[in-house]
C-alpha cells in the first residue's frame, strides 16, 4: 500500500498522510479520523500507528529538594504516560512562579487535568476559591496530602495520625518516657493531624508519666527542613526529650545533627524517628528509623482518580487514606540505663477510604 493510494482515497496530500502515520502536529482531528478510516478500508493494521496524544497533565509540586516529592511525582507521571498523557512537572521555587501561575498556564494550554502534590490546598490559611473556580471551569483535579473544605474533588493522603501513633508506640516500647515531636508549621493539614495524633498517643501510652498539661511543651513547630529539625531538636533536648518524632526525614537528619552538637549520641543517648522514608536512608549515619509513606500506593491512587475524572467516570469524592508502616533502623534504641520493653507491633500497610473532614 502506497502513501499516494491513501492520499487519493482521503482527498489529502501524501505529506498529510505521512504526518498522521508519524503522529506529527498540524493535522486536524477530522482529517486524522478520515485518514485512519481509509487505512482501515485498505487493510492497514493500525496497531502500528502511534497512539494519539491524550493531552497535557500538570503535576504541581511545592519543591524537589525533599526526596518524597520527586518520588511521588514519578509514580504519577508513569501512570499518566502509560495512559497516553504527557505529564508536565510544575515545581514551585521561592520567589519564582506560584501555583496560581502554573494553573493559569495549564488552563491556557487546555490541559486535560492537574494533580496537586502537597500544594497550597494543604494550607488551612489558604483560600479555596481558586480551586473551586478551576473545577467550575471543567479542569479535573486531584489533591494529594492535604484537605480543603468546599473543594469537590478526590483527595489522597498518607494517614498522618497512624504515622505518629506508630512512631510514639515504638519509642515508648523501647522504654522512652520523654518523647517530643518536631513538626512543621501548624497551619498545614499534615502538621495539624500529626500534632493531634501525638497528643492522643502520649495520653494513651504515657498516661501517669506525662501530665496532660505537659504535652504541649513536647511539641515544637518549625519548618519541614533540615534546619527546622535541628532547631526543634535543640528545644526538645532542653526539655529533657530522649526520643524525638519528626515530621519529615529531612527534619530527622537535622535532629541527629543537633543531638551530636550537644556531644550526645544517636541512638545511645537520644532516639530519632523520621517520616516519609526517602531513598538512601539505609546509608545515613546512623541508618534512620522512619515511618514509610507508601509513595507507590498514594501516587497510583492519585493518577487513577485523575484518569477517572478526565474520562468522565467520576472518581470517589472524600479522602482516601493510605496507611504507612514503621521501618526500624539504627537511629532508635532503649534510652541509656533503661531496659527495653517489647517493641510495639507494626500494623500491616493498607489503604482505606475515608470520608473527608477538616481536622479540628
Output the nine-digit C-alpha cell for 210.
506525662
Tens place of pLDDT for every residue, the chain, 360 residues? 577 778 888 898 877 887 788 777 778 888 988 888 888 777 765 544 544 456 899 999 988 888 899 999 999 999 999 999 999 999 987 777 789 999 999 999 889 999 999 989 999 999 999 999 999 999 999 999 999 998 999 999 999 999 999 999 999 999 999 999 999 999 999 999 999 999 999 999 999 999 988 999 999 999 999 999 999 999 999 999 999 999 999 999 999 999 999 999 999 999 999 999 988 898 999 999 999 999 999 999 999 999 999 988 888 999 999 999 999 999 999 998 765 454 444 433 333 334 444 444
Q: Are strands 243-246 and 113-117 parallel, antiparallel or unpaired?
A: unpaired
Beta bridge partners of residue 147, listed in sequence order: none
**Which among 182, 260, 164, 255 is positioned nearest to 220, based on CA atoms?**
182
Answer yes or no: do 182 and 107 share one domain. Answer: no
Residue found under cell 474520562: 311
Report d(CA 232, CA 235) in Å as an integer. 5
CA 16 to chain centre: 43
Are 289 and 261 within one domain? Answer: yes
Q: What is the pLDDT of residue 45?
A: 59
CA atoms of 247 and 188, how far apart (whole Å):
11
Site of grid cell 531496659? 339
Whole-number Å distance between alpha carbons of 178 and 241: 5
Look up cell 509513595; give the residue: 295
Whether the link from the prior residue into 276 is cis, omega within 30° of 0, is: no
Element (DSSP H or E) covering residue 289: strand 289-292
User: What's the pTM?
Assistant: 0.79
- Assign residue 129 the CATH number of its domain: 3.40.50.2300
Are residues 349 and 266 both part of a single domain?
A: yes
Domain membership of residue 36 (yes or no) is no
Record the cell numbers describing residue 283, joined without a space: 546509608
- Residue 208 shares a structural domain with residue 343: yes
- Taking the C-alpha atoms of residue 63 and residue 232, their distance in angstroms, rounded to an integer, is 22
Strand ordering across the sheet containing 141-144: 85-91, 55-61, 113-117, 141-144, 154-158, 318-322, 351-354
Shared domain check, 335 and 229: yes
Q: Do 339 and 317 reside in the same domain of the chain?
A: no
Q: Is 339 exposed, middle or buried (0-12, 13-18, 19+ CB in 10 A)?
A: exposed
Tell me the three cell numbers of residue 112: 486535560
- Specify if 276 maps to a domain: yes
Phi-psi region for residue 156, left (φ > 0), alpha (ψ -120 to 50) or beta? beta
Question: 195 and 333 share a domain?
Answer: yes
Q: What pLDDT was estimated at residue 46?
A: 53
Residue 259: count other Cβ atoms within 10 Å of its Cβ.
Answer: 26
User: Residue 257: is it exposed, middle or buried by C-beta count within 10 angstroms (0-12/13-18/19+)?
Assistant: middle
- Determine the structural domain holding residue 16 and report its residue range: 1-28+45-52
Looking at the fold, whether 213 and 254 belong to one and the same domain comes out as: yes
- What is the grid cell recorded at 76? 504519577
Give me Rg for the CA atoms of the chain.
25
As for how many domains the chain has, the answer is: 3
Rounded Cα distance, 193 and 116, in Å: 19
- DSSP β-ladder status, 55-61 and 351-354: unpaired
The answer on 68 and 104 residing in a single domain is: yes
CB of 326 within 8 A of CB of 346? yes
Residue 174 lies in a domain: yes
Predicted pLDDT at 53: 52
- How many other CB atoms are found less than 10 A from the CB of residue 61? 24
Is 107 found in the same domain as 214? no
Question: Is 347 in the same domain as 212?
Answer: yes
* Structural domain includes residue 125: yes
Give domain status of residue 39, yes or no: no
* Helix ranges (DSSP H) in 2-98: 3-10, 14-21, 29-41, 68-82
∠ CA(79), CA(84), CA(87), 5° rounding? 60
Q: Residue 149, exposed/middle/buried by CB under 10 A (0-12, 13-18, 19+)?
A: exposed
Q: Is residue 360 part of a domain?
A: no
Q: Do 116 and 194 share a domain, yes or no?
A: no
Amino acid at each position: 500500500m502506497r502513501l499516494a493510494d491513501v492520499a487519493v482515497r482521503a482527498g489529502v496530500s501524501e505529506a498529510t498522510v505521512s504526518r498522521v502515520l508519524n503522529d506529527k502536529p498540524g493535522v486536524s482531528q477530522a482529517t486524522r479520523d478520515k485518514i485512519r478510516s481509509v487505512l482501515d478500508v485498505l487493510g492497514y493494521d493500525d496497531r502500528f500507528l502511534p497512539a494519539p496524544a491524550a493531552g497535557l497533565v500538570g503535576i504541581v509540586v511545592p519543591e524537589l529538594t525533599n526526596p518524597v516529592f520527586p518520588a511521588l511525582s514519578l509514580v504519577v507521571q508513569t501512570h499518566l504516560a502509560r495512559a497516553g498523557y504527557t505529564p508536565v512537572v510544575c515545581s514551585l521555587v521561592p520567589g519564582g512562579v506560584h501555583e496560581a501561575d502554573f494553573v493559569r498556564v495549564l488552563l491556557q494550554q487546555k490541559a486535560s487535568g492537574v494533580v496537586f502534590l502537597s500544594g497550597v490546598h494543604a494550607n488551612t490559611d489558604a483560600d479555596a476559591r481558586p480551586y473551586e473556580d478551576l473545577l467550575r471551569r471543567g479542569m479535573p483535579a486531584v489533591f494529594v496530602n492535604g484537605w480543603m473544605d468546599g473543594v469537590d474533588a478526590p483527595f489522597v493522603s498518607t494517614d498522618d495520625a497512624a504515622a505518629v501513633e506508630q512512631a510514639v508506640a515504638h519509642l515508648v516500647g523501647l522504654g522512652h518516657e520523654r518523647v517530643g515531636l518536631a513538626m512543621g508549621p501548624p497551619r498545614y493539614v499534615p502538621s495539624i493531624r500529626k500534632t493531634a495524633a501525638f497528643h492522643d498517643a502520649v495520653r494513651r501510652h504515657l498516661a501517669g508519666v506525662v501530665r496532660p498539661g505537659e504535652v504541649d511543651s513536647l511539641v515544637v513547630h518549625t519548618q519541614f527542613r533540615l534546619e527546622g529539625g535541628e532547631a526543634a531538636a535543640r528545644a526538645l533536648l532542653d526539655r529533657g526529650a530522649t526520643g524525638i518524632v519528626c515530621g519529615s526525614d529531612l527534619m530527622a537528619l537535622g535532629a541527629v545533627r543537633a543531638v551530636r552538637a550537644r556531644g550526645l549520641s544517636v541512638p545511645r543517648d537520644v532516639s530519632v524517628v523520621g517520616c516519609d522514608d526517602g531513598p538512601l536512608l539505609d546509608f545515613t549515619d546512623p541508618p534512620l528509623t522512619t515511618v514509610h509513606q507508601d509513595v507507590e500506593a498514594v501516587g497510583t491512587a492519585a493518577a487513577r482518580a485523575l484518569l477517572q475524572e478526565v474520562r468522565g467516570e467520576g472518581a470517589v469524592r472524600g479522602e482516601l487514606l493510605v496507611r504507612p508502616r514503621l521501618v526500624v533502623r539504627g537511629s532508635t534504641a532503649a534510652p541509656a540505663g533503661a531496659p527495653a520493653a517489647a517493641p510495639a507491633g507494626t500494623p500491616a500497610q493498607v489503604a482505606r477510604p475515608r470520608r473527608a473532614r477538616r481536622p479540628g
